[in-house]
Chains A and B, each alone.
Chain A
Amino acid sequence: MRKVYMDHGAGMPLDSRVFEAMKPYFMDDYGNPSSSHSFGNSAKEALATSREKVAQLVAVEKPLEVIFTSGGTESNNLAIKGVAYRNREKGNHIITTAIEHISVINICKFLQKQGFEVTYIPVDKQGIVDIEKLTEAINDKTILISVMYANGEIGTIQPIQEIGKLAQENKVIFHVDAVDAAGKVPINVKEENIDLLSISSNDMYGPKGVGAIYIKAGTKIQPIIQGGGQERGLRSGTENIPGIVGMGKAAELAQKEMKSEGKRLAGLRDKLIKGVLDKIDYSFLNGHPTERLPSNTNLRFSYIEGESLILGLDMYGIQVSSGSACTSKTLEPSHVLLAIGLAHEEAHGSLVFTMGKQNSEEDVNYVLEVLPDVVKRLRALSPLTPKEIVR
């Protein structure tokens, strides 16, 4: 049976070139960059080179402004808690959006319990943040605006430059969660007025358990992990050198291949979207038609439920995700789909395809061949399906 993995948003393979780059740092160059003796030099150099590569990916001029962490979640924790705790004297108000990654939402909820006020800005039907509401929400107690670069579930890319300008004009620190965007679309922290940027390695074919955060020099922030003072005191703990080397290599490759790979994936994405909408009645695109990650396709199908769609496709070797309640631990549908105005029953019928390097046009053709039958079979089972569309 054909194997078609289209769930890169959930997990990505390691690029073999990344693996090769990491290998020496497990058994041979295992020195500690903090050591004074020469054996630590190799690690120290690897750390510096990797930092430069990650800096280049998002157009950071001074590599020392990049701090390595254990991943996107930690970067988001450092950004939001670090700014909140350090700037408490100035104010207790944080602005974010209704469609942030669950880590940002839960960090904000945690801070709310400690007396911080959080405003969750709504988005429009295509997932774009309401700039007018965001502007209105800023007050003299606002210390942080946190907006994701792109949404991993519906793919929508935010007008980051515009929001960055707004933050700058109001002297509010601007954090961007770019975990789903870095390596996929060009990011320029200077042009986009970004003060803090979260990135993860495993969303660009790097190893899991590594991430980074760009912290613009002069940004008022405090560490959330105390210890030996590594990473300029902002992230203590012995550096994960093999992981960091892997992330550096992944960043280098992503930067090199972004343009060609982005164009290729966008082509596959648009073919998949058009094919599904043409072939399947009562199917709809979730998210923005053009301001969208090249890797992301999110579709919904009336009268049926997403988990059964996943299982149905899995039987044909196709792996995807869904925003349905039945696939979540909480039995609640995706907060992102609800935020773009979908009714619960609409959110239940959504499917997320996230394509990557190994996916080809044949894969898309295969999905377009299989999916209509899977949908048809489930619709025939569903009491919600109107009689006239069961053919």
Chain B
Amino acid sequence: MYSEKVMDHFMNPRNVGEIPDADGVGTVGNPVCGDLMTMYIKVKDNKLVDIKFKTFGCGAAIATSSMTTELATGKTIEEAMKITRADVAENLGGLPPIKMHCSNLAADALHEAIKDYQKKKEAKK
């Protein structure tokens, strides 16, 4: 059902964990629906220098979270905001149609974390 790449990211997810002093945190999904993702980001000179995630969900949810962190690490805030669910799915060698919403969630969680960072930055000014 899943590509080799998806299974690799499911079995060996990259960047799992939490960042206690994260600059931004984003959570999307709902355990009732079967998916919940939280992403933590660390920003330096407008670049995402560290990203960590925690995910409750199916294999696709875990793999897309992992892939999103890999895609976004080292990118500028602006570049990271442009990462779409299609990018995530494509880099995983595709996802079954019924699982596409998972890749949506992962990109959304990242964008939420970035927005959280921007809000905090605004507040500091």
Chain A residues in contact with chain B, CB under 8 A? 303-305, 307-308, 311, 315, 324-327, 329, 331, 333, 343-345, 348, 380-384
- Residues in B96-111 with C-beta less than 8 Å from chain A: 98
Smallest CB separation, A348 vs chain B (Å) = 5
List chain B residues, Cβ under 8 A from A311: 2, 7, 10, 58-59
Q: Which residue of A lies closest to B18 (CB)?
A: A383
Give A324 to B27 CA distance when docked, in angstroms.
21
- Number of interface residues, chain B, beta carbon within 8 A: 25
Give A311 to B55 CA distance when docked, in angstroms.
15
List chain A residues, Cβ under 8 A from B11: 315
* Residue B41 lies at the interface, judged by CB distance under 8 Å to chain A: no
Give A311 to B38 CA distance when docked, in angstroms.
22
A344 touches which of B32, B60, B98 (Cβ 8 Å): B32
List chain B residues, Cβ under 8 A from A304: 56
List chain A residues, Cβ under 8 A from B16: 380-381
List chain A residues, Cβ under 8 A from B37: 383
A308–B34 CB distance below 8 A: no
Q: Which residue of B lies closest to A306 (CB)?
A: B58
List chain A residues, Cβ under 8 A from B98: 329, 331
Q: Which residue of A lies closest to B36 (CB)?
A: A383
* Residue B94 lies at the interface, judged by CB distance under 8 Å to chain A: no
List chain B residues, Cβ under 8 A from A384: 31, 36, 56
B33–A344 CB distance below 8 A: yes
For this complex, 13 residue pairs linking A to B, each with C-beta atoms less than 8 Å apart, are: A305-B56, A308-B61, A315-B7, A326-B34, A326-B35, A326-B57, A326-B58, A343-B32, A345-B31, A345-B34, A381-B55, A382-B36, A383-B27
Q: Mark contacts of B20-45 with chain A using CB atoms, 8 A cut-off: 1 yes-contact digit, 0 otherwise.
A: 00000001000111111110000000
Smallest CB separation, B32 vs chain A (Å) = 4
Main secondary structure of the interface of B (DSSP, over half): mixed
List chain B residues, Cβ under 8 A from A329: 98
Give A305 to B31 CA distance when docked, in angstroms.
9
List chain B residues, Cβ under 8 A from A343: 32
B34–A381 CB distance below 8 A: no
List chain A residues, Cβ under 8 A from B67: none
B34 touches which of A315, A348, A383 (Cβ 8 Å): A348
B7–A383 CB distance below 8 A: no
List chain A residues, Cβ under 8 A from B56: 303-305, 381-384
Smallest CB separation, A120 vs chain B (Å) = 22
Give A315 to B4 CA distance when docked, in angstroms.
12
Give A130 to B65 CA distance when docked, in angstroms.
44
B58–A383 CB distance below 8 A: no
Q: Which residue of B lies closest to A383 (CB)?
A: B54
Give A343 to B30 CA distance when docked, in angstroms.
13
B57 touches which of A308, A333, A344, A380 (Cβ 8 Å): A308
Q: Which residue of B lies closest to A348 (CB)?
A: B34
B59–A383 CB distance below 8 A: no
Give A380 to B52 CA distance when docked, in angstroms.
13
Give A304 to B58 CA distance when docked, in angstroms.
9
Give A303 to B36 CA distance when docked, in angstroms.
10
Give A167 to B36 CA distance when docked, in angstroms.
46
Smallest CB separation, A309 vs chain B (Å) = 9
List chain B residues, Cβ under 8 A from A382: 36, 54-56
Give A71 to B125 CA distance when docked, in angstroms.
70
List chain A residues, Cβ under 8 A from B58: 305, 307-308, 311, 324, 326-327
* Residue B13 lies at the interface, judged by CB distance under 8 Å to chain A: yes
A344–B13 CB distance below 8 A: no
Best-surrounded residue of B36, B55, B56, B59 (most CB of chain A within 10 A):
B56
Give A308 to B59 CA distance when docked, in angstroms.
5
Give A383 to B102 CA distance when docked, in angstroms.
16
Question: Given the known A-B contacts A311-B59, A381-B54, A383-B55, are A325 and B34 also in contact in the complex, defined by CB atoms under 8 Å?
Answer: yes
List chain A residues, Cβ under 8 A from B72: none
Give A352 to B108 CA distance when docked, in angstroms.
32
List chain A residues, Cβ under 8 A from B61: 305, 308, 326
Best-surrounded residue of B7, B10, B36, B59 (most CB of chain A within 10 A):
B59
A325–B33 CB distance below 8 A: yes
* Residue B62 lies at the interface, judged by CB distance under 8 Å to chain A: yes
